[in-house]
Structure 1
C-alpha cells in the first residue's frame, strides 16, 4: 500500500520513471540509425563544427595501434589536454592533463604520468574497454576547457557542465553538474558530483542533489549552490535547442561547458539521459514533456514550424521555477 501511494504521488507530480522514459520518449522520438551521431563523440564534434556550433578544439585522433607511435609528437605543443574515448560513457576512460613537468604530465587530480602511461591508456581505449558495447574505439585528444570564474566558489577542481534535456528542440529542464573531491574533479553524478537545478527562464541555480539527497551547500567548499547566475544563459539554451536539428534525435541530453575565454560550448550529446535532473529541480520531467508535446500539437494544427527562439521562449514562459520570465 505504501509503495502504491508513493507511485501515485510521483505520477501526479509528473515524475518520469526509467520505463516510461524508454517507452514514451526514447523509443518514440529517437530513431536507432541516428544513435551513432551522439554515441560517437568524434561524429558529434564534426557535425557541430560544420553547423558552426562551438566545441572544444580537436588536437588529434588515435585510431590504430600504429598511430600511438606518433602520440609524443602530437602532444609536444600542448601542456594541457584531454584524452577521451570516442564512444565512452559515464566519464570512464577520460584523462585530464593539466600541466607538464619535463618528461611527465600531471593530471587534474595531481597524478604524474609518463608518455608510456598515456600510450598504455590509449591502447586500452582502442581495445574498447571503455566503449559502449565493448567495440573497438578511437581516442580523441582535445582542448582542456578552462572553467569560468563564476564556478570557483561552488566547484572542486575539474570542469562543471550544464545538462539540458531537450524534447524535439524544446529545452524542458536544466541542471548544473559540479565536480567534488569524491568525483575526482569529474562532473559525473554517479562518481559523486553534485547536480544543481537551474531555472530555465533566468539561468539562476536552485537547490542541489548529491547521491540522490537534497543539499544546499557544496560538500567541499561549504558555499551555497543556489542563487548563482549562469552567464550567457540564452546562448546555452540556443545551443541545446539547435541540437535537435543537428542530430534529428527528438529526446536528448545536451551537455555544455562554459570556457573562460571561448564561452559556451557543446561537450557531448546523450540519447539516453538519466533522470536525476528531476531531483535537482524538484520537478517532474514528464509533466514538462507533456506540456511541450501539447505545444507541438498546436503548431502542427496551425501548420507552423517553430524556430529555436520560439521553442526557447515557450519553455522559459512555462517552466520557470522562480516564477519569472
Structure 2
C-alpha cells in the first residue's frame, strides 16, 4: 500500500499524487507499487525493496540522485504462541524532491506522523523529518524495553507461588527480545554516527541538535537493553537456584522418611525370621506385640526428632 502525505499550511494532508516535498509511505508494497516508485522517483529498484528483506543490514548508501538510510525498528510478533518483540528494517530514501519510507508493516514509528500528531513536523524540511523518524524509532525502542522489564517483574512476582515451565519459557522469550534489540540498536548507532559525518545531507543547526538527541537516546536504549539483559540473566539464575533448592528440600524429606520407615522394617524383619522364638525379647509375653510396636513407634519418633533438629526433616 502506498500513501502520500504533504504538509500544507502547517497540517499534514493526504494526497492522491506524488508532488514536490511530499512523503511517500509504502507499507508492504506490491511489486507493481515498487516499480511505480522506482520509475517515478528515479530510484534503483533494489534500493526501493531493500527493507522488504528482514535480514537486510542497516546502512547508508549514496547515489547521484538519492540517499538511502536503512535502520532497524521494533516490531511485535507471535513466537511460540506468545506476544514477543523482534526488529524489522525500515528504509528512508531522501531524493531530490520527496522522502520515501518503505517497511513491511504499518509501524508505530510512522503512524503518529501520518495522523498529524507530531509537533514541529514538516515534509518540506526533509532532513529534519528524517531525524524526527529516527528519534521516534529510539523512543519506541525505549517504550518496548520498559514493557519487557515490566513483564520480567510480573514473572518474578509469580515466583512466590512456585515456578512453572511457562515462566521459564517466557523468560527465554524476553531474553531473545533483548538480544534482537541490543543488536539492532548497536547497528543503528553506527548509522547515526555516520550521519554526523555525512556531508552529502544538508544540515542546519537545529537539525544537528536533533540528531545529537537521537544519538543520546539511542545510547540510552543500548544501555537499558544491556542492563535489562543482565537483570534477566540474574532472574534466570534465581529461577535455577529456587528449583535446585526445592529439589534439595524434597530429596532431604524423602531421605528422612526412608530412614524412619526403615526402623519398623528392620525390627519386623528380625522378628519375622524363621528362628526359635526362645530368647527373642517379649516372645513369651501376651503383650509382646504391643510392646514391640510401642518400641518401634518411640524409636521412629526419636529418629524424626533428631532429623528435625538437624534440619533434614
TM-score between both structures, scaled by the size of structure 2: 0.23
**When you count helix as a share of all residues, which structure comes out higher?**
2
Which of structures 1 and 2 has the bigger CA Rg?
Answer: 2
**When you count strand as a share of all residues, which structure comes out higher?**
1
- Which of structures 1 and 2 has the larger relative contact order (alpha carbons within 8 angstroms, sep 6+)? 1
